[in-house]
Structure 1
Amino acid sequence: MGRKIENRNIDVTKARGELEEDLLEYVYRMWRQGRQITSKEYAREVNITGYEAAGLVRSLVKKGFLCEPENGHLELSDKGKLEGMECLARHEKLTQFFQMVSGMDQQRAQEDACRVEHYISPEGLKGIENFLQYGDVYDRVYDDMDLYTFYEDGEFPMAFGLYEPERRNPRFLAPEYGKLEHSVILRVKKSQNCFLLRTKKDESIGYVWYRRDDEWIQAKEEKGVYQLPTDICTYTANTGIPITEAVAIIAITRFDQKPLPIDYRELNIHVW
């Protein structure tokens, strides 16, 4: 995203419409994560001027995709949420497509997707969707994935393992695993996706933490059910199956204190 992207060592200036779609997609992604941003924060993120960012916001407000900013925060209209979801879906599917057919890493694939997503026809995107479903060539690893582009609203039980990350070959289940229900629930909603980690009846494991932007955050807990955002995981996909595995490093502590390395656990979810 941004005014310019580096593609095959050539800087390509983006058109105004592309910049507007990039901003809309970014605000939608932040909304999905429960975060708010200002136009100044977006300008710093994508390396454009505050004046340019403000102009993009005014245009999107005029078109009905954004509401008039309050306290500087950018808020999507219902129309903006629908358009933002479509922008994000195009971006993620194209990124995966480029990874499959070329084996390039995620960052390079995202750069190519960021240009193509603005011009691809519905027929072209449909063809890529079919390829994603039936014609994978490379397995791929994907971060920061929004599962709402793959699942309808609902709850989906999935098998999982909880391991001690420093003990491999063979792997050892973490001691807390025996206190947990042996399936997690993927909860998909329009507003937010999460994995639900559930303790067995009359069992307790203490405090569960997840990491975002190198910061440990305490997971929401209610009656022994812990909510873990889906975007903390790294996903693996392979031939014919959009997603096969989700992996994240979480932490479990006895007390309400920031985790130490001894508290780290590897959460491995078998996605279907």
Structure 2
Amino acid sequence: MKIQESAENYLETILILSERSTYVRSIDIANELNFTKPSVSVAMKKLRENNLITVDGDGYIHLTEDGLAIANRMYERHKLLSDWLTYLGVPKDIATEDACRIEHVISQESFEKIRAHVREMNEHL
């Protein structure tokens, strides 16, 4: 399923926040991304309609199986690309920003080749 970059960012943020805390609410996402609460509410509605998240009666957000799969894929890409760019000498803040953009547009085939290269490189360190 092809989803928009913004949805991928929201799902990745929910994953990251859920690793920090047991509960994730819209306000937590708004604070993390520096977005307005109404903007986040609209996005959460769309994610819920696409069965990528659930929201319980207390307003806590949970990733569905499909949402978790997308979030994990984006987070893996982000971490690997950011670390790789930093290793190549790109300053960490720029590497993180660039990785955030690249993670959404890189093909799975290209990412797998980069991942294999990084693993091979790590074996020789």
- Judge which range, 29-38 or 41-50, deviates more: 29-38
Structure 1 residue 34 displacement after superposition: 4.5
> Counterparts in 2 of 1:22-41, with a 5 A limit?
22-41=9-28
Q: Which of 115, 124, 141 is residue 101 of structure 2 equivalent to?
A: 115
Letter in 1 for 2:34: N
Q: Which has the higher helix share?
A: 2
Aligned to 2:123: 240
Unaligned runs of 5+ in 1: 1-15, 136-238, 245-272
**Where in structure 2 are there 5+ consecutive unaligned residues?**
none
1:66 aligned partner, one-letter code: I
Show the counterpart of 2:40: 53
Structure-1-length-normalised TM-score: 0.42
CA distance in 2, matches of 1:127, 1:27: 27
Report the residue type matching 1:116 in the other structure: I
Deviations 1:42-73 (A, max 9, x none): 11221111111111111111111101343121
Offset from partner CA, 1:61-93 (integer Å, 9 cap, x none): 111110134312111112222221111111111
Higher-Rg structure is 1
- Aligned to 1:71, the other structure's residue is in SS state coil
Amino acid at match of 2:96: Q
4+ residue stretches of structure 1 with deviation over 4 A? none
Q: Which whole-Å CA distance do the structure 2 matches of 1:35 and 1:111 have between them?
A: 27
User: 8 Å contact 2:52–2:64 — kept in the other structure?
Assistant: yes
Aligned-partner Cα distance in 2 for 1:49–1:114? 20
Tell me the alpha carbon deviations over residues 11-58 of structure 1, each in whole angstroms, 9 at most, x when there is no partner. xxxxx9222111101111232345322112211221111111111111
TM-score by length of 2: 0.85
Higher relative contact order by CA 8 Å / sep ≥ 6: 1 or 2?
Answer: 2
Q: Deviations over 1:100-147 (max 9, x none)?
A: 22x123332111111111111011101111221224xxxxxxxxxxxx
Please tell me the residue identity of whatever aligns with 1:79: D
The answer for the alignment partner of 1:105 in structure 2 is: 91
**Alpha-carbon distance in structure 2 between the residues aligned to 1:39 and 1:68:** 10
Q: Give yes or no for the alignment of 1:87 onto 2:74.
A: yes
User: In 2, Cα distance between the equivalents of 1:69 and 1:18?
Assistant: 25
CA distance in 2, matches of 1:42, 1:86: 19
Question: What pairs with 1:1-272 in structure 2 (closer than 5 Å)?
Answer: 17-101=4-88, 103-135=89-121, 239-240=122-123
Residue 64 of structure 1 aligns to a residue whose secondary structure is coil
Q: Quote the Cα distance in structure 1 between the aligned partners of 2:112 and 2:64.
A: 27
More strand by share: 1
Letter in 1 for 2:55: E
Contact 2:53–2:64 (Cα < 8 Å) also in 1: yes
